[in-house]
Amino acid sequence: IPNTYAICTLPNSIYTVNDDNSTAECMLVENGVILAVGSVEDIRNFWSAYNPNVSLKTFQIPPNSVIVPGLADAHGHILHWGAKKRLPLHGSASIDDVLLRIKQYLLSHPDILHDPTRWILGSGWDQTGWPGGQFPTADDLDREPLLRGRSIVLARIDWHAYWVSNAVLSSLTNLPEVVDGGLIVRDEAGKPTAGVFVDNAMSLIHKPDPTDAEILEDFETTMGDALSVGLTTIHDAGSPPSTIAFFQRQLRPALTPRRMADEGRLPIKVYMMGRVDFNDYLSSQIPRLVNYGLHRRLTVRSVKLFADGALGSWGAALKAPYTDKPDTQGFLLTPTKTLHQQVEKLYEDGFQVNVHAIGDHANEVVLDIFEDILKKPGADVNTWRPRIEHAQIIRPSDFERIGRLGVIASVQPTHATSDMSYAESRLGPDRIKGAYAYQKLLHDAYCPAGSHRQNCLPLGSDFPVEGINPLLGFYAAIARLSPEGTSPHGPGGWYPAEALTRVQALRGMTRDVAYAAFAEHTGGQLAPGFAADFVVLDRDILRVPLGEILGTRVLATVVDGQVAYGSL
């Protein structure tokens, strides 16, 4: 399409998500930037004032469709999404279902089937939905004859546990009795033969790294899927040195993502959170790339740390024992003193710090650390913008503290609806009131943007833990229902008082994500001077009945003014 054009709707069906949440009829775009927003007459007058003898190409979107700012995911895992498509175990109903999927995978991949040295790697299982709800075992994998003797590593849906085969177990020697910040699940005799390794214990499993070709394939798969559902920005949540290296080194001519960025071939905007081993940490391990490349689409300026594990594997660090497993409170993955030192070092090195915290104890610890560092002379929260990733279970006093400190709470609405079948049994009737509490968080969570403070709550998905389609998160945020329209509390939703309004949810998927990435002056809304990142949807998600939202189709995804998916 031309570098300069107008795009119009009838009636006012452009949701600008500006300060006033106003709508508009038309938008003028030039060289990837929005020049003007207003009525047809406004755009014509603006154009003719500067170009009286030049006609303006105008696109008219179909009736009943709408334009929204480019959708953003504040927390996803780019390479994991592509990798999980090889052997996806999401939605498996039982151990037998998992075994069947692996068998079908092998039968459709004869090169792996007939080479017993090849490892079998998959992800997505979730025991909370299986009969009994308990962890699987290595012996379970041996029930399928094709799998006996094979090296198998299957990541749990949240990537906070591995389920491994007996062949992998037999290769491990001198396993520790205790793993700080982790757990080796043991059998009834206390032997480490159960086959499940949780959180830090996962580091004991040395599975083969993906090849460069696999990494590139995974990356391209995710980019294509993201554009097809209207994503124009992704925050990659925890990119280890190998992933960052992928963004730097040449895999083949002109196809390294760093060169993609140079040459305009990085199709969406990627904000990467680095992840490093602090045993040999050097700030130079993470290159500083801000608005890098021909189209300024690649940014690396933050680091992700982990305070605790996940609720589904009983690894989230709680103040009191789990209601359904009173012999554990979960655990911190990093001792408090060490975590404080890590956050402080990253702060001194000029990195934004994004800490994974799910349990109420983990969130309290992280807030204590942030509060201590923000007391330093010259510390400015707007310059640093510390983030808590997940902020899933919060004590009443810590809601207020998040807002008072200006800490960004980055949440994933589909976690609420995926976890609602078991979350209350884990937490009990009192703690659950502070879990997935998005209205409480939004009421208290302020983003100090310049001279004013505004409520903000950036939303993401944590794909591949959840689906990549941002409308799944939009629906979960406003309905508090499963995609099938159900909840433990009935069709009215699970704790509906914590549901976001549609406007709040749209802001959470656009301008709030932009603020969380220091991009609030260039992205997240459709206004003059902002990037022309927008999505054309076939229906008005702010007005259609709830049951119609998940049927929404993306007609076009536009990045920097150019169509990256679909057509205008």
Q: According to the model, what pLDDT value does residue 209 have?
A: 86
Predicted structure pTM score: 0.92
Say which amino acid occupies 224. Answer: G
Contact between 28 and 46 (Cβ < 8 Å): yes
Encode pLDDT of 228-247 as tens digits: 999 999 999 988 777 766 76
CA gap 358, 206 in Å, rounded: 26
Instruction: Give the pairing of strands 534-537 and 452-455.
Output: unpaired
Q: Are 552 and 87 in contact (CB under 8 A)?
A: no
Taking residues 448-464, report their average pLDDT.
79
In whole angstroms, give the CA distance from residue 2 to residue 156. 46
Question: Which tokens go with 162?
Answer: 């591995």
Question: In 249-366, where do the E strands start and end?
Answer: 269-274, 289-292, 298-306, 352-357
As beta bridge partners, residue 162 has: 155, 197
Q: How confident is the model over 512-536, as pLDDT tens digits?
A: 999 999 999 999 999 999 999 999 9
Distance, in Å, from the CA atom of 348 to the CA atom of 128, rounded to the nearest integer, reads 41
Q: Residues 520, 523, 525, 531: is their CA dihedral positive or negative? A: positive
Share of the chain above pLDDT 70, in %: 94
Q: Taking the CB of residue 267, how many other CB atoms lie within 10 A of it?
A: 20
Residue 262, pLDDT > 60, answer no
- Cβ within 8 Å of residue 163, ≥6 positions away: 125, 135, 136, 138, 141, 153, 154, 156, 195, 196
**What mean pLDDT do residues 1-19 have?**
94
d(CA 87, CA 104): 10
| Per-residue model confidence as pLDDT tens digits over 399-439 | 999 999 999 999 999 999 999 999 999 999 999 999 999 99
Q: What is the mean pLDDT of residues 286-301?
A: 81
H-helix segments, 269-408: 336-348, 360-374, 381-384, 396-405
Report all structural domains of the chain as residue ranges with CATH numbers, in order of start. Answer: 4-69+549-566 (2.30.40), 79-204 (3.10.310.70)
Q: What is the mean pLDDT of residues 154-166?
A: 94
Give 293's pLDDT tier (boundaries 50, 70, 90). low
Query: Which of 396, 392, 353, 399 minimizes the C-alpha distance to 372?
Result: 353
Whether 33 shows a pLDDT value over 60: the answer reads: yes
Residue 209 DSSP code: P
The H or E element containing residue 228 is helix 212-228
The token duo for 520 is 């609030």
| pLDDT at residue 360 is higher than 90 | yes
User: Furthest-apart CA pair in the chain: how many Å?
Assistant: 86
- Has residue 450 got a pLDDT over 60? no
